[in-house]
Amino acid sequence: MFSRLRRSTDIVEKRGKRSLEPAHAAYYKGKPGQSLNLILQARHDFLSVWRKGDYTDRVTSMKVFGRQIVTVNSPDAIRYVVAKRHENFERKTPQMRRALEFLLGDGLFISDGETWKQRRPLVNDIVHKNRLPTFGKIMENTSSELVQRWSALPDGAPVNALYEMAGLTAEIIARSVFGNDLGEEAANAVTEGFESYQSLIDSINIGYFLGFDEGLPVLRTPKLRRSVSRIHQIIDKVVEDHLAGRGDDNSMVELLVRRQKRNPELKLDVVALRNEAATIFMAGHETTAATLTWAWYLLSRAQWIEKSLHEEIARVCGDRVPTLDDIPQLEWCRAIIEETLRLYPPVPILARQAKEADRIGDIDVKPASLILIVPWLLHRTEAFFKDAHLFKPERFLNGQKPIPYSYIPFASGPRVCPGLQFGLNEAILCLAVLAQRFKVRVAEDAKVEPQCRLTLRPRGGLPVTLHRRERA
Ligand code: HEM
Query: What secondary structure does DSSP assign to 222-257, as a single string?
Result: HHHHHHHHHHHHHHHHHHHHHHTT-S-TTSHHHHHH
- Residue-wise pLDDT for 95-136, tens only, equals 888 888 889 999 999 999 999 999 999 999 889 888 899 899
Q: Which residue has the least CA distance to atom 35 on ligand 1? A: 280
Q: Which residue has the least CA distance to atom 7 on ligand 1? A: 410
From the CA of 173, give the closest atom in ligand 1: 30
**Which residues neighbour 372 within 8 Å (Cβ) at sequence distance 6 or greater?**
69, 70, 71, 72, 349, 350, 351
- What pLDDT, on the 0 to 100 scale, is given for residue 238? 85
CA 276, CA 271: separation in Å to the nearest integer? 9
- Ligand 1 centroid to Cα of residue 417, in Å, is 4
Residue 422 half-sphere exposure toward CB, CA atoms < 13 A? 28
Region for 181 from its dihedrals, namely left if φ exceeds 0, alpha if ψ lies in -120 to 50, beta otherwise: alpha
Distance (Å) of CA 60 to CA 10, 157, 347, 375, 451: 24, 48, 21, 15, 24
Please, which residues bridge with residue 372 across strands?
71, 351
Cα 319 to the center of its chain, rounded Å? 32
- Residue-wise pLDDT for 8-39, tens only, equals 778 999 999 999 999 999 998 877 766 677 77
From the CA of 414, give the closest atom in ligand 1: 41
- What pLDDT, on the 0 to 100 scale, is given for residue 310? 98
Please, which residues bridge with residue 248 across strands?
none
Angle at 254 between CA 250 and CA 260, to 5 degrees: 145
Q: Do the beta carbons of residue 343 and residue 392 sit within 8 Å?
A: no
Ranges of residues in the chain whose predicted pLDDT is under 50: 1-4
From the CA of 408, give the closest atom in ligand 1: 10
Residues enclosing ligand 1, CB less than 6 A? 108-109, 120, 123, 127, 279-280, 283-284, 287-288, 291, 346-347, 350, 409-411, 415, 417-419, 422-423, 427
Instruction: Extract the annotated binding site for heme.
Output: 417
From the CA of 415, give the closest atom in ligand 1: 41
- Ligand 1 centroid to Cα of residue 441, in Å, is 29
- For ligand 1, mutation pick of 178, 287, 457 (most atoms within 8 Å of CB): 287
- For ligand 1, mutation pick of 417, 425, 453 (most atoms within 8 Å of CB): 417
Delineate the domains of the chain, giving CATH numbers in brackets. Answer: 11-467 (1.10.630.10)
